[in-house]
Amino acid sequence: MLVSIEPRTVRPAWLRAPAPVGENYRGLKQLVQSLHLHTVCESAACPNVGDCWNRRTATFMILGNVCTRRCGFCAVQKGGPLPVDYDEPRRVAEACAALGLKFAVITSVNRDDRKDGGAELFAMTIRAIRERVPGCGVEVLVPDFQGSHAAMDIVLEAAPDILNHNTETVPRLYRQVRLGARYQRSLDMLAYAKQACPSTPTKSGLMLGLGETIAEVLEVMRDLCAANVDILTLGQYLRPSPKHLPILRYVTLDEFAELKRRGYEIGFSHVESGPLVRSSYHAADAIL
């Protein structure tokens, strides 16, 4: 049963991720460095980097590692965008081949400096992976492209296996959490993606612990389902540094389990819900 939220700001003992060590971790780090690539695992200080990299999986971040937005939760560097590297898709595909991936996840920084928001590079990367590693599934975690349906069409025409765009939080908290984003715009982009390409699974996720109520979370879940989103991820917000938004509470394991149950009840085809869940966590499980 979900109850009203009470603050719990002492980090629970069970909220621990494996340390980023081991032969596979070191090997993947060396590969990424040698190909001059970026991963959201490192740039966004993901707590699962040790677990995922030791399983030889990573989420590649294209279009540089400097974001044009200043979201209060995100550890990715902010500032003036880097020049677009048109060889990057080839190198991402090379990394996927070297890792022997059956499923790859591609995301990017926000590129509000570009008319298409970086959609062209997403499409090029999808196609490069398909050419270099036939049979490899591809999930893309895209920004909102400032609401451009034309940009979304560019990505969808490259036929990703999953189209992901995170809503991140509840509408009331957008001004603090997602500076420059709009809740309704994110819903619209997800709904448009499903309308434009009904066979492509759509996906979205939220961070919990930023001050939202359970009622607000359930309302967002219903909104996402109404937008025909297929896959939902729910995870605990973890503060990357003292400069970022504070954690207002730690959601319990029982609450995550109940939200997962409610997600299936609401109508999602696949739900990942837990403290260390992130948008790309066990991404292939939703379709493989």
* Residue 44 scores a pLDDT above 50: no
Stronger pLDDT, 157 or 77, i.e. the higher one: 157
Complete DSSP assignment for 196-230: H-TTS-EEEEEEE-SS--HHHHHHHHHHHHHTT--
pLDDT over threshold 50, residue 177? yes
CA 188 to chain CA centroid, Å, is 18
pLDDT band at 281 (very low <50, low <70, confident <90, very high): low
Provide, rounded to the nearest whole percent, the portion of the chain with pLDDT above 90: 56
> How high is the pLDDT of residue 56?
52
For the chain, how many structural domains are there in total? 1
242 is a domain residue? yes
* DSSP notation for 3-14: -------SPPTT
- Contact of 5 with 31, CB cutoff 8 Å: no
Alpha-carbon span 249 to 55, nearest angstrom: 30
Average pLDDT over residues 46-52: 51
Residue 93 lies in a domain: yes
Residue 16 forms part of a structural domain: no
Residue 20: its pLDDT value, please?
Answer: 53
Helices assigned H by DSSP within 35-148: 40-43, 49-54, 88-99, 119-132
Quick check: is 190 in a domain? Answer: yes
**pLDDT tens digits for range 209-227:** 999 999 999 999 999 999 9
> Other CB atoms closer than 10 Å to residue 242's CB: what's the count?
6
Please report whether residue 18 resides in a domain: no
Instruction: Decide if 7 is inside a domain.
Output: no
137 occurs within a structural domain: yes
Among the ranges given (14-18, 83-87, 109-113), the one the predictor scored with the smallest mean pLDDT: 14-18
Show the domain range for 74.
23-286
Question: What pLDDT band is residue 4 in, cutting at 50, 70 and 90?
Answer: very low
Does residue 72 surpass a pLDDT of 70?
A: no
Q: Does residue 272 or residue 7 have the better pLDDT? A: 272
Half-sphere exposure of 58 (CA within 13 A, CB side): 35
Q: For residues 202 and 287, what is the distance between their CA atoms, to the nearest angstrom?
A: 11
Within a domain: 227: yes
What gap in Å lies between CA 187 and CA 147, rounded to an integer?
10
Domain CATH number, residue 135: 3.20.20.70
Burial 90-121, CB ≥16 within 10 A → b, else e: bbbbbbbebbebebbbbbbbbbbebebbbbbb
